[in-house]
Amino acid sequence: MPRVQGVDIPNDKPTYIALQYLYGVGQSKAIELCFQLGLDLQRKARELTDDEIARINQTLDSEHVVEGALRRSVQQDIARLREIGCYRGIRHRRGMPVRGQRTKTNARTRKGAKKTVAGKKGVKDMRH
């Protein structure tokens, strides 16, 4: 398996798809990178030469923020929001949706599993 930016990319996939296994590289950035370096998009990742892999690494290092540096940057941004106590920071701290989504229903991914609260439903008054 070729190693790009310290990450193994799959052998049997076309180059532009294999590059998308890197954190911070999506479809458009992968295609742009292949054109910039003159790589065939459809060539399998296992067919990349060591020189081509080195060129990919060098380009990603110099022109793009990917993998560890990008993860660190995102975490620092979230920590800053929490620290200054803005609305988005408070939402992050509470583990709730940050971008204005409804929470009465449909926020399960962010809020976690349902926490059932005992209510009045089903309790019958026996004073008749």
Domain boundaries, the chain: 3-67, 68-111
Cα–Cα separations (whole angstroms), residue 19 to 15, 63, 118: 6, 15, 50
Q: Residue 8 belongs to what H/E stretch?
A: strand 7-8
Check: pTM over 0.85? Answer yes or no: no
Q: If you average pLDDT over residues 88-104, what whole number do you get?
A: 93
Can you read off the two tokens belonging to residue 30? 């992968």
- The domain over range 68-111 is classified in CATH as 4.10.910.10: yes
Can you read off the two tokens belonging to residue 21? 């296994």
Would 3-67 and 68-111 be classified into the same CATH topology?
A: no
For the stretch 10-25, pLDDT in tens is: 888 998 998 999 999 9
Count CB-CB contacts under 10 A for residue 95: 11
Question: Could you tell me which of 12, 25, 60, 97 has the C-alpha nearest to residue 52?
Answer: 60
For the stretch 34-89, pLDDT in tens is: 999 898 888 898 888 889 889 998 998 888 888 889 999 999 999 999 999 999 99
Distance of alpha carbon 10 from alpha carbon 2, whole angstroms: 8
Given 1.10.8.590, 1.10.8.50, 3.40.190.10, 3.40.50.10490, which CATH number is that of 3-67? 1.10.8.50
